Amino acid sequence: MTIPKSNRGGFLAAAIGLLLALMIHTGSVQAGMTKVLRCDGCSARSKEQRAQQALPMGTVHVFDGKRASVSSYRTFTEMVDDRPLTVLKETIKIKTDPKLASAWRSYVQSERSVNELGEFVLPDDFPVRSVAGVLTDPNYSTGVLQDWLAQMSLFERLMAQASNVLARLVTNVDIKVVDIQSIIAGTTFTIIFPDGSTMQFELNYYVDANTLKMHPNMQPVENSARTVDGRRVPGSRWAFAGRTFYGDRAAMLEWMELARRAGLVVRQGDGGGATRMVCDPPVDGHIYCRVVLGG
């Protein structure tokens, strides 16, 4: 069908109006939908705008980690005229469920406690002795680290309170799991290994879509590994040249393995003094690392 030029503008406006009407009608059917988002330190106006953008029609909870507060809104969208196209958007602040607000405050307090502490010192008998152990076997290392952290009361509280927030939200069955995960912030902290080397790790949580249970997921932060003297752990074979690594015999086995995987020749022997691995400058295109085991 050919539309006369004189009528094309009106036809286009009508088509747009019809499309919008269909979208709004669909939204009205889903008016019971709920979304959640996190907006730390945002102003009241910004939270209101974010709520409207998040869901044209429904309920939106905006979580603020800086103020440890929850702001709840009911959003509406209505087409009041199609010539010219006129859309009315309205956002009304509503009362937040007190139990949800309380659960969020408790979670934020635990989140802050972990972030303020910042670092954790591993016990002398920890099975992974150095960052070299993490770099050579990251799956095993992060697994035992995660198990060790899970036994600490600080992380137990964090996990329990995050689960409490989740439990308050899942009563709204239309909330997507990915949305819920977005409000539980990841935590980054430093682990100090028995040999004095350090590495940063990020702890995030994911929600099982079937059971709605939260599970921790810990990963090392890339390029964050440091030796006891604060220098970056070598990332290539040439970076080992002229470096000395300290630790006990168990730690030396991890540093030896890391050096071997980089393509270096490692020679082991006995000697006095502290246990260490010394990597000489290149000779004939090779770097040799000598392991001196103290008495």
Read off the pLDDT of residues 204-215 as tens digits, 9 standing for 90 and up.
888 877 777 778
* 10-19, 240-249, 279-288: least confidently modelled range: 10-19
pLDDT at position 80: 58
88 C-beta neighbours (distance < 10 Å), count = 10
Question: What is the pLDDT of the chain when averaged over all its residues?
Answer: 83
Give tens-digit pLDDT for 153-184: 888 888 888 888 888 888 776 778 778 888 88
Six-digit token string for 45: 């106006």
Could you tell me which residues come within 8 angstroms of residue 134 by beta carbon, excluding any fewer than 6 positions away? Answer: 128, 141, 142, 199, 220, 225
Check pLDDT > 60 for residue 29. Answer: no
- Of the chain, the end-to-end C-alpha distance in Å amounts to 95
Mean pLDDT of 38-57: 93
Mean predicted confidence (pLDDT) in 39-55: 94
| Token representation of residue 287 | 């770097």
Instruction: Report the b/e string of 52-79 with b at 16+ CB within 10 A.
Output: bebbbbbbbbbbbbeebebbbbbbbbeb
5 has a pLDDT exceeding 50: no
270, burial (CB in 10 Å: exposed 0-12, middle 13-18, buried 19+): exposed
